[in-house]
Amino acid sequence: MTAYDVGLLILRLVLGLTLAAHGFNKFFGGGRIPGTAGWFESIGMKHGKFQAVVAASTEISAGLGLAAGLLTPITAAGFVALMLVAAWTVHRKNGFFIVKEGWEYNLILAAAAVAVATTGPGQYSLDWLIFGHNWHDGWHGLFGSLLLGLGGALGQLVLFYRPPAKQVN
C-alpha cells in the first residue's frame, strides 16, 4: 500500500461520488427530470427532457466510473464534457469565482478528472484489477480525456444550444 495509491483513491472517490450525486439528484431530487428539463430549456438547451436524461446519466456513469477507476480517460472525458457545457451555458457570464456563480467549480472538477486520467487511477482501481496496470495513463490519458471531452462538449453545444433571446426592458 502506497500513499500515492491511497491519495488517488481518495481523490477519485470524492470527485466521482460528487458528480454521481448530481446525476442522482436530477433523477430523484427536487424537480427531477421534468424540472431539470425545464431549466435546461430556459438556458437555451433544446430538447430539454433528452438533455436532462443524458446529463444525469453521464454524471452518474462518469462519476461512478471515475470513483471505481474504470476506463479512467473515458470517464474523465465525461467530466470535461459536462463541465465545459455547464461553464459555457450557465457560468461564463458570471465571471470566474463560484461565489458569483462563475465557472471556478467547473474548472476544478474537469482539471482534477484530467489529472487522474493523466496519472492513472492507481492500484486500487478496476483498471488495475482488469488490466494489471493503469489503462492508458500518461499522455494518452491526458490527451484522450481532453480531446474526447472537448469533442463531446462541442458536439452537444453545436447540436443543442441556442442562447435564449435577451429580454428588452
- Predicted local distance difference test score (pLDDT) of residue 164: 80
- φ, ψ at 45 (rounded to 5°): -90, 115
* Domain layout of the chain by residue ranges: 3-160
pLDDT band at 36 (very low <50, low <70, confident <90, very high): very high
Instruction: Kindly state the average pLDDT of the residues 39-66.
Output: 96
Instruction: Kindly state the average pLDDT of the residues 61-66.
Output: 98
Q: How far apart are CA 92 and CA 103, in angstroms?
A: 6
Read off the pTM. Answer: 0.93
- Predicted local distance difference test score (pLDDT) of residue 169: 67
Q: What is the torsional sign of CA 68, 71, 74, 80?
A: positive
Q: Which SS3 state, helix, strand or coil, does residue 14 take?
A: helix
Per-residue DSSP letter, 164:
P
- Predicted local distance difference test score (pLDDT) of residue 1: 80
The per-residue pLDDT for range 82-137, each reduced to its tens digit, is: 999 999 999 988 999 989 999 999 999 999 999 999 999 999 999 999 999 999 99
On the question of pLDDT at 165 being above 80, the answer is no
**Would residue 156 be called left, alpha or beta, if left means φ above 0 and alpha means ψ between -120 and 50 degrees?**
alpha
Question: What nine digits make up the cell of 11?
Answer: 481523490
Instruction: Kindly state the average pLDDT of the residues 4-19.
Output: 97
Question: What nine digits make up the cell of 35?
Answer: 424540472
Side-chain half-sphere CA neighbours of 79 within 13 A: 34
